[in-house]
Structure 1
Amino acid sequence: MFKKLIKNIAISAVIVPVIAGSALAAYPDKPIKMLIGYAPGSSTDIVGRMVANDLSIALKQPIIVENRGGAAGSLAADAVAKSIPDGYTILFAQNGLAINVAANPKLPFNGQKDLLPVVGVAATPHILIVNNNSNAKNVAELIAMLKAEPGKLSFGSSGIGNSDHMAGELFLATTGTQAIHIPYKGGSPAATDLVGGQIDFYFAGMPVGLPLYKGEKVRALAVTSKARFSGAPELVAIQEAGVKGYEMALWQGMFVPSGTPNNIVHALNNSVLKVLDTPEMKERFQKAGVQIAPMNTQQFTDLYNTEIARWKVVIEKSKIKLD
């Protein structure tokens, strides 16, 4: 399961060997573009911009962040996959990419051949939130409401096939319930409608949902990790609330086009891992409710490929519709 994949990451994310000075000196020598396939203010956007800010300082070059939303992040992924493999166009993505690759064989790019995982950054549970006026005070009551009115309640997501969408679909499949999926163009608008009562529940990313919960703008029922989340230890895990076998995390990391020279991949990997290891970044991640999970290139590649295989099985078995 996901937890087993990352349990040793913190101690095994070894910095790869330093590249010869002459090779590193040539990269980067101009601004870098980072594409994020989700709307500004989404969980992946928040984390990606934090990384871009400190990485630009470490590399001594501007990193220009461009939000190119749509198709569950695939528009941005496609643009990066087809870009020149010179390290000047990078993708900051989440596990929605692996889900999309698993579910859609007709993507305009090959998710395992055209993109190269560089470095893993975070692996954070979602937070299950409802409106403050909801009759659901806990997970059991939400399940009871769903069973009482099959297909009547609605849940939001940042887009079809994204991690928050699949967290909801996995919950419905595991509990044997039905609900209407309402996709949005990002996590922030989904959360806004949850606060306003337009949707009934939402498996929000922590950077979006945790501040709303802490600010008492929504009611939080649980987190999607196997165990409780350190950023909100008072909240039960969904498994703890009685939904056996349920586990979901939002992982995020960096990709480049396949064919990018090894020295550039190593330079990006080294720099990001060093940035993640600073007290300043750790503090910012903690405040944002993000669980840092540094992964070197091999570890992140293993996670990416394992997640693709996992979701192929889940989607087929659960007959989850992603169209």
Structure 2
Amino acid sequence: MKRFTRLAITISLCAASMTVFAQQYPSKPVKLVIPFPPAGATDVLGRALGQKLSESLGQAVVIENRPGAGSTIGAEQVASAPADGYTLLLASGSICISANLYKKLPFDPAKSFAPVSLVGHVPHMLVANPTVPANSVKELIALAKSKPGEMNVASQGNGTLSHMELELFKLAAGVELTHVPYKGSSNAMTDLLAGNVSMLFDSVTSSLPLVRKGQLKALGVVSPKRLTFAPDIPTITEAGVPGFDAANWFALLAPAGTPKEIVQVLNTHVARALESAELRQRLAAQGAVLESSTPVALAILIRDDLDRWAKVVKQAGIKLE
């Protein structure tokens, strides 16, 4: 009986000390790891968020870029960091793709992290060279079915989101398209503008200005609903491929085991930061749609994305070493 009493006291003391710790958090600078190079969409979003979080938390948020291996290097760093709330990851949906493409990853997106909050989306869109004789998704599907395998579609590289969106589109629309992988968005875009490839799934940040100049044509956006800053472009779902969903999301994650009290503190401050009109206006220019969530909702999103890409990888027979 005394043993159980001592155990109960120990648990109570631990809970009390953790509550005090959470109340004192943060008492030093917080590191935000961005697993992509500087100046990209993720970096711009992370630095803007970091600035607002710093103001809200009352502590510096230090940005550290750790690019490489499709974001897995930065993700591994955070997964193995102390679970004290002082090392965070600005993750993207690419970690769910990597988990299904590579046999040996040093982390599990669903188990190695404590979800904090969704941060937002930077939607992709399907754009085509103006010479392609199709002005809608339905016309594109009909064209592709009339010449199976003859249309070349670029991607930003094997295993990237633009590649997976292409594979999902092929499966959902029932068409044969030839995948042409490039090393990065700029190379793919150069060949698309030159007419060497027909289409590309790319972020609205880089594609929309070219659409507005008439250098590309937009066939549909990869988003649950039309974008407020481009309401004339239909979603791919309403344009002819029901259920097409491949959101390019970004979220804040902490190492697994981070105390729930600290996760809640961070969640509250992220939601507060995303309410900033100045932040929303600044990131809208980058094509970002800001949106916070509960930790539970983010955990569900991660599991759903893992399942979605697992099915696509299996059905498309994608294999990467």
Question: Shared topology, TM-score over 0.5?
Answer: yes
Correspondence list, 1:106-255, <5 A? 106-132=104-130, 134-143=132-141, 146-147=144-145, 148=147, 150=149, 153-157=152-156, 159-175=157-173, 176-185=175-184, 187=185, 190-195=188-193, 197=195, 199-255=197-253
Aligned twin of 1:38: 36
In structure 1, C-alpha distance between the alignment counterparts of 2:126 and 2:71, rounded to whole Å? 22
In structure 1, C-alpha distance between the alignment counterparts of 2:316 and 2:244, rounded to whole Å? 13
Higher mean C-alpha displacement, 201-210 vs 265-274: 201-210
Structure 1 gaps, min length 5: 1-18
In structure 1, C-alpha distance between the alignment counterparts of 2:62 and 2:190, rounded to whole Å? 27
Quick one: which of 47, 60, 63 aligns to 1:62? 60
1:102 partner SS: helix
CA 1:313 to 1:295, structure 2 compared with 1: closer, same or farther past 3 Å? Answer: same
For normalisation by structure 2, the TM-score amounts to 0.81
Aligned twin of 2:11: none
CA 1:193 to 1:74, structure 2 compared with 1: closer, same or farther past 3 Å? Answer: farther
* Cα RMSD, aligned residues only: 2.8
1:170 shift after superposition: 0.8
Higher mean C-alpha displacement, 47-56 vs 62-71: 62-71
Aligned twin of 1:298: 296
Aligned twin of 1:313: 311
Structure 2 gaps, min length 5: 1-17
1:281 aligns with 2:279: yes
1:295 shift after superposition: 0.5
2:291 partner SS: strand
CA 1:97 to 1:132, structure 2 compared with 1: closer, same or farther past 3 Å? Answer: same
1:249 shift after superposition: 1.4
- Which of structures 1 and 2 has the bigger CA Rg? 2
1:254 partner SS: strand
Q: CA-to-partner distance for each residue in 1:263-312, whole Å, 9 max, x for gaps?
A: 33222211111111222223234333222221021111121122212322
Aligned twin of 2:24: 25
Q: Decide whether the 8 Å contact of 1:33 with 1:88 is kept in 2.
A: yes
1:151 shift after superposition: 5.5
In structure 2, C-alpha distance between the alignment counterparts of 1:234 and 1:62, rounded to whole Å? 41
In structure 2, C-alpha distance between the alignment counterparts of 1:154 and 1:248, rounded to whole Å? 17
In structure 2, C-alpha distance between the alignment counterparts of 1:64 and 1:196, rounded to whole Å? 41
Aligned twin of 1:87: 85
Q: Decide whether the 8 Å contact of 1:86 with 1:261 is kept in 2.
A: yes
In structure 2, C-alpha distance between the alignment counterparts of 1:300 and 1:188, rounded to whole Å? 31
Number of aligned residue pairs: 302
Which letter does structure 1 place at the counterpart of 2:70?
Answer: A
For normalisation by structure 1, the TM-score amounts to 0.81
CA 1:58 to 1:21, structure 2 compared with 1: closer, same or farther past 3 Å? Answer: farther
Q: CA-to-partner distance for each residue in 1:179-234, whole Å, 9 max, x for gaps?
A: 2231434x455445544555432211233333443454432221122442222111
Aligned twin of 1:53: 51
Q: Decide whether the 8 Å contact of 1:118 with 1:265 is kept in 2.
A: yes
Quick one: which of 64, 73, 96 aligns to 2:71? 73
Aligned twin of 1:271: 269
2:119 partner SS: strand
Q: Decide whether the 8 Å contact of 2:90 with 2:250 is kept in 1.
A: yes
Q: Provide the identity percentage.
A: 32
Higher mean C-alpha displacement, 170-179 vs 281-290: 281-290
